[in-house]
Structure 1
Amino acid sequence: MRTGRIFWGLILVYIGSIVLLENFGVISFSWHVVWKLWPILLIIWGANILVARNDNRNAGLLTGIVTLIGLVFMTVFGIKEIKKEGRWAYEESAPALSDSDDWESGTNKVYKEEYTPENKKAILSVKGGAGDFKLEDTTAILMEALVKGQSVSNLLKRVDTDSIVNLTMISQEGKKMLMPGDRFHKTDIKLNPNPVWDIHLKLGAADVDFDLKAFKIENLTLSGGAADIKVKVGERSRMVNIKAETGVSSVEIKVPENSGCRIVNKSGLSSKSFDDFIEIEKGVYQSKNYKTAQKFVNIVLKSGISDLTVKTYKD
């Protein structure tokens, strides 16, 4: 019995099971924990190498036990982190409205946060599970969001510190079982284009479509389990820093053709498409104009089994 086959077989079964359970809304798993606990994978791998010399039934059994213990450990902490976040409780910014269109027997909720010229910097954190998230329009106030959902509770908190505003929005799904392709809610977000924005997304089985051309983006972090993420950044900031950490996801990032772009790809078994870029060293790619550009986009990709695309566009 080949111990290597047992090891990789369990890993693939584990990833597939976690993604399937997330898609059906049975669990919420923090893929970020996998990156925190990556030394466990080294321990499992090392233990398998030690027993690989004894290619017999006992060696195979020991390999399976060690691998299962490590995966169970990661699962417990991954689910626990999501549950810890789910205990946050914030007041809604606006009362619920009656639903009149897309979602039958659902509800519409509107969230609004006021803007003043003193709000020079704003940080938006969006956390949720299965949903559709869209951002492309501007607003005269600081932020507004329309949420159309089924069995979903949305929580919003604002914290002002000097000229910096922190906005945290959490979408908590109900207990309804998801069918493949279902989403609990649709969230349309609008932001004020005047402040410098940091945007942090921590989502599960979500669809994300963020057109950020109109905004001054400084930092953008993307974290998803089985997410479909599309983002487009513009040239309103001198430097945009993007970090994507995903599990089994599709990630597409569009950057302006005139901006110098650098990609550091630290992904595992992911497919990649960086056709507009030159590989200058292993895992590092640059646009041809990186050294002469006036504005820059720096991208760091850390993914499990994902489809990664970075491309340029003309205005």
Structure 2
Amino acid sequence: MNVKRISWGLLVLFVGFILLFTNLGYINFNWSAVFSLWPVLIILIGIGYLLPEKTESNYIMVFVTLGVLALFAYQGLTVPKNNGLLGRIFNDHDRNFEWDSSGSDHGTSTRASKNFKSPYDTAIEFAELSIEGGVISYRIGEPTDQLFEADAASDFSNFSLKEVRSGSKADLDFRMSDEDSKRSGEDSNDNSVIMHLNTNPIWDISLEIGAGTANFDLSAYKLEKLTIEGGVASVKARLGMPQSAKSEVDFEGGLAEFELEIPKEAACRIIAESALSSKNFDGFSKQSDGSYVLGNFDAAEKRYTIHIESGLSSVRVSQY
């Protein structure tokens, strides 16, 4: 009996059945609650190496694996959506898009706030914004007359904004310091950033977070490209109409929830490469090459191409 193969086989079957029943609407499974228990998998692997190579050990390992899967199932089925790892960190992420661009702080924390501004110049036609941080909540809200503006609230984190302008292009780098990024998991409820952009330039935005949430309402902005890389992350984004035939969205996540809204009038193609993910592409037609298409994609002069690469994730693309 190859107990390691059996244990991993049980795990894959468990994930497969959960994704199937979720897609069919039979259950409402909270993956973010399960993510908080990922160290249990390391413990399970350790137990497998420690047990002696005996027949009794094989049965013990299978029994322990079934117990771990039962724990995962209980956690995912009973913990409300606003709890679990991501829910405890940021409790404003439900399954529906409810955009709050006011930038108000709903908590009672004594967080220190710092404002960052980059002045707008009418010569700037293209802007590239790179965002990087640890366990943190990012939000893009209503437009500003500045080129870029951010309100960062934290008990300890040190953010920085660097800018390089060349001709009609501006490159903005907004990030948390490396040391603070490592510490951010200590009290992640007290780390949030509200950002505002100017509506005139065409934007190329990239976000890199290890764990956290992002709520990007980009419907008022001219977006050429959106790139998101996240480990354990919950990301919501709403886009406006595409700017060209090269407009694209790239999402890469490990244990992630990704929700994207695009206008009903926008032509779009989704290319998804995912291992064990729950996918919901409402209104899209699956093509022979495995991609998903919305509207007359090939003939459209302006369109979105969405690339999704994920591990154990929940992915949803819908129209508004």
Flag the 1:256–1:100 CA change in 2: closer, same or farther, 3 A.
Answer: closer
Partner amino acid for 2:226? L
Partner amino acid for 1:253? L
The 1-side partners of 2:184 and 2:211 are apart by: 15
2:60 is matched with which residue?
Answer: none
The 1-side partners of 2:105 and 2:164 are apart by: 32
Task: Provide structure 2 residue ranges, at least 5 long, that are not aligned to the other structure.
Answer: 14-31, 40-52, 58-103
2:94 is matched with which residue?
Answer: none
SS, match of residue 178 in structure 1: helix
**Cα RMSD for the two superposed structures:** 3.3
SS, match of residue 300 in structure 1: strand
CA offsets 1:221-241 (integer angstroms, 9 cap, x no match): 011111110001111613420
Flag the 1:4–1:128 CA change in 2: closer, same or farther, 3 A.
Answer: same
1:306 aligns with 2:313: yes
The equivalent position to 2:205 in structure 1, one of 193, 199, 203, is 199
The 1-side partners of 2:308 and 2:158 are apart by: 31
2:6 is matched with which residue?
Answer: 5
1:295 aligns with 2:296: no
CA offsets 1:111-153 (integer angstroms, 9 cap, x no match): 0001111111110010011111111211111000011112211
Q: Is residue 22–residue 204 contact of structure 1 (8 Å, CA) maintained in 2? A: no
Flag the 1:263–1:116 CA change in 2: closer, same or farther, 3 A.
Answer: same
Flag the 1:226–1:208 CA change in 2: closer, same or farther, 3 A.
Answer: same
1:170 aligns with 2:171: no
Shift of 1:21: 9.3
The 1-side partners of 2:237 and 2:150 are apart by: 18
TM-score (norm 1): 0.67
Flag the 1:236–1:10 CA change in 2: closer, same or farther, 3 A.
Answer: closer
The 2-side partners of 1:209 and 1:259 are apart by: 21
2:243 is matched with which residue?
Answer: 237
The 1-side partners of 2:241 and 2:257 are apart by: 24
- Spell out the pairing of 1:1-315 with structure 2 (5 A cutoff): 1-2=1-2, 3-5=4-6, 20=36, 102-171=107-176, 172-173=180-181, 175=183, 178=186, 182-235=188-241, 237-239=243-245, 240-313=247-320
Runs of 4+ in structure 1 off by over 3 angstroms are 5-12, 19-23, 99-103, 172-179, 291-294
SS, match of residue 249 in structure 1: strand
Q: Is residue 266–residue 295 contact of structure 2 (8 Å, CA) maintained in 1? A: no
The 1-side partners of 2:312 and 2:292 are apart by: 20
Flag the 1:213–1:9 CA change in 2: closer, same or farther, 3 A.
Answer: same
Q: Is residue 103–residue 148 contact of structure 1 (8 Å, CA) maintained in 2? A: no
SS, match of residue 158 in structure 2: strand
Identity rate of aligned residues, in percent? 30
Shift of 1:176: 6.6
Shift of 1:207: 1.3
Flag the 1:194–1:21 CA change in 2: closer, same or farther, 3 A.
Answer: farther
